[in-house]
Amino acid sequence: MTLPTSTSSPSEAAAAAAARTTLDRLIETWGRPELSGLGPEDDLYERIDSFAVVELLLETESEIEKAVGRYVPLADESILDSTRSPLRRLQDWFDYVAQAVARG
């Protein structure tokens, strides 16, 4: 995971870290150790099903709430869009989560 830039707020950095932690925990829960080696350019969307995407969203929202002290919704029309999903590139997912926190 590439951390957000130095101009990122502590909340954005905490959100990106929470997203990574959540993904790592779910990889273990799903019994998918091959996913633990994904790099920032890898496509998570192609490797998990829609149920896993929903679980990832809900669990990440919960972790972010713990990390930054407020609920931040992550679901939007792009998440399940096969061409625009931020899950198409793992680093885009972490950036997406950090930007959602920045937007409030």
What is the C-alpha to C-alpha distance for residues 7 and 81, in angstroms, rounded to an integer?
Answer: 29
Q: What is the pTM of this model?
A: 0.87
**Residues belonging to the chain:** 104
The confidence score (pLDDT) of residue 33 equals 96
Q: Which H or E run includes 79?
A: none
pLDDT tens digits, residue range 31-87?
999 999 999 999 999 999 999 999 999 999 999 999 899 999 999 999 989 999 999
